[in-house]
Structure 1
């Protein structure tokens, strides 16, 4: 097994068993169309499966270091399919996998060409309606930057924000701080300057060390000492399909957000104007995971005292990815949830954990009930695919082109 893995790695091949998982065949199969694209994103609109839909759409913002289809894995555990089947119109950002030519893309480009353009397109397809936004990991950080900037306007188009394992205050970012300090950032910037991006292999080791018992030593024991391979599954296949990060944008993220914590301390500027989480006034649904080593739940929890709006905080079992992909019927799942109203006093994470009861089952059902409460009561006919004047036959089928880039 060791020799086989060594050989596959040296040839640039994926792990054993990944051949059984193919994007568009048994991964990312929820029907839809790419209704917009630019240099940085493809925007997917999913086809309705119900006669009537909720009037207000949902827009997903994945992290730029992951491919979007973690939210659309297999048919049984696809979050996208779950929402579409429950009567929602769902849109998804699919990020381009950057190359050396994209080295000068900035964090503000990701704000504008990414989330900004996606919001504009969704608003064109479904005009005069609020948009319920969802951000995963760094996609959630990016989404809150956009929401804080839009909150300065008189009438933001964002109706609600859901965050999955997303940090907005990095002062206690957990075990990842063991690997990242100013000298390490300088080293990474030198490396990225030479090649124009940070490669997936160059960050994979740090994330493996965060969960070394699960991701390194257990594999050594079972695969190499006992000769017992764990079968490949859809989440493992997705996890091996990472993306690169452009030099300038990732340098800005590491320095300004991760190291200096500029956003939560009101120093970060969008289009030259400082933005603050305190300006966001739409309701938030924030999900942390008990065993998350990438975005520790107590760090995710901090948004409750950084905003002045109502925050529903949910803590789910599992880790950064497996805790989020927790579909109804998944065995051995539980969660805790509570609402913090605008007038409520702050409660420490330890006190919150102590005072909040455990619920069995999938948290997706809790979230879907929350989405219903934030949407317009009356359902409507599904919107047409793409903006007015689009010809459905000319649109590219989901999952599009960008997600296939290596």
Structure 2
């Protein structure tokens, strides 16, 4: 008698039982792979706000103080054209904006939005001479104040410094966070190599792409620390998943890192050529519609914050500002942190956030 294999037989309930630890392992593995393939999902930018002004893609947000408004001088935050500004309002409990609102500050933020193909010709003249003055005018009108504090982060700090040198009226305080102002050859880490005229022609890229893709900018930044950014990030994710550690902050940060908008081509051309390659800003040679940007015109109190571990804005790029501005009340405050780490997480809550609050609190009275 020939024995026939029963390939269609169903396993018994005992055979189908999967040990709980094995099932848990595969659940975590499946979750991790979905994040890798689909990207991190997280609710970001949750502090209550209203849009009070728009221009093209840009939006000006107002965040009502969560507590009684203790400081009559409003804060206008300006972020870079690279990445999205919700790093300033990452998630509840880990939000610089939420913290300042709780401290009784009146906070506004200018979100540049996501440029379309039709915005490829926007340059620093548009952003510094058109967008920023109109946003400031709206902040003053909406807040009912005659003065305001300008707070710029990263490239947004560079633009804020240029604005402050050209429009000193109504400006009460200037806060710069990891803002590159000087671009000394050989002192910018790998950026000195990446942006060298020997290897990069920004005009060719702008002509080829129109707007520079966000993914291309992101790849360049990640290559400054490739092991940390490409390997370490996901090692950290898997450790958190399998050790049952909180994932919320990791998901929010990973979403932000991979959410870079296109960079307007004309601005990119200027940024690389006139700033990185020719270092015109610190030399006083940047000219916008016939107006020379002279940083010595800045006379208001200045808080200049930088990260000693920052590989995006090297410490000398930010520290040089102290000798370029004309302010008498000025402070350089280095933190033992990187470009983004100084803004979010436990270190930020102990370092950057309370420093900005206390410094502005003394200078934001009526």
TM-score range, shorter chain: 0.7 to 0.9
SS in 2 for 1:301: helix
The within-5 A match list for 1:299-318 is 299-309=317-327, 310-318=329-337
Measure how far apart 1:198 and its partner are: 0.4
The within-5 A match list for 1:6-155 is 15=36, 18-21=39-42, 26-151=43-168
2: CA distance, partners of 1:114 / 1:288: 26
Task: Give per-residue Cα distances to partners, 1:159-181, cap 9 Å, x unaligned.
Answer: 11111111111113332112111
2: CA distance, partners of 1:274 / 1:52: 37
Instruction: Give the unaligned 5+ runs of structure 1.
Output: 9-13, 335-359, 378-406
Instruction: Give the unaligned 5+ runs of structure 2.
Output: 1-29
Correspondence for 2:209 among 195, 211, 230: 195
Correspondence for 1:179 among 194, 204, 215: 194
Measure how far apart 1:18 and its partner are: 4.3
SS in 1 for 2:100: helix
1: CA distance, partners of 2:234 / 2:92: 32
SS in 2 for 1:288: strand
- Judge conservation of contact 2:342–2:352 (CA < 8 Å) in 1: no
Measure how far apart 1:204 and its partner are: 2.0
- Judge conservation of contact 1:285–1:312 (CA < 8 Å) in 2: yes
Q: What corresponds to 2:25 in structure 1?
A: none
Taking structure 2 as the reference length, the TM-score comes to 0.82
2: CA distance, partners of 1:123 / 1:312: 26
SS in 2 for 1:37: strand
- What root-mean-square deviation, in Å, do the aligned CA atoms of Structure 1 and Structure 2 show? 2.8
Correspondence for 2:295 among 277, 286, 310: 277
Q: What corresponds to 2:24 in structure 1?
A: none
SS in 2 for 1:66: coil
Task: Give per-residue Cα distances to partners, 1:322-375, cap 9 Å, x unaligned.
Answer: 12224xxx2xx39xxxxxxxxxxxxxxxxxxxxxxxxx9333112211111101
Taking structure 1 as the reference length, the TM-score comes to 0.75
2: CA distance, partners of 1:221 / 1:324: 22
Measure how far apart 1:276 and its partner are: 1.0
TM superposition outliers: structure 1 runs of 4+ over 6 Å: 220-224, 227-230
| Comparing 75-84 and 127-136, the one that deviates more | 127-136
- Judge conservation of contact 1:59–1:131 (CA < 8 Å) in 2: yes
Change beyond 3 A, Cα 1:195–1:134: same
2: CA distance, partners of 1:180 / 1:86: 40
SS in 1 for 2:313: coil
Change beyond 3 A, Cα 1:262–1:139: same
Structure whose residues are more often helix by fraction: 2
Measure how far apart 1:41 and its partner are: 1.2
2: CA distance, partners of 1:376 / 1:313: 22
Correspondence for 2:343 among 319, 324, 349: 324
* Structure with greater contact order relative to length (CA < 8 Å, sep ≥ 6): 1
Paired residues in the alignment total 330
Task: Give per-residue Cα distances to partners, 1:74-109, cap 9 Å, x unaligned.
Answer: 110111111111111110001121122111112111
- Judge conservation of contact 2:218–2:260 (CA < 8 Å) in 1: no
- Judge conservation of contact 1:135–1:164 (CA < 8 Å) in 2: yes
2:254 maps to 1:236:
yes
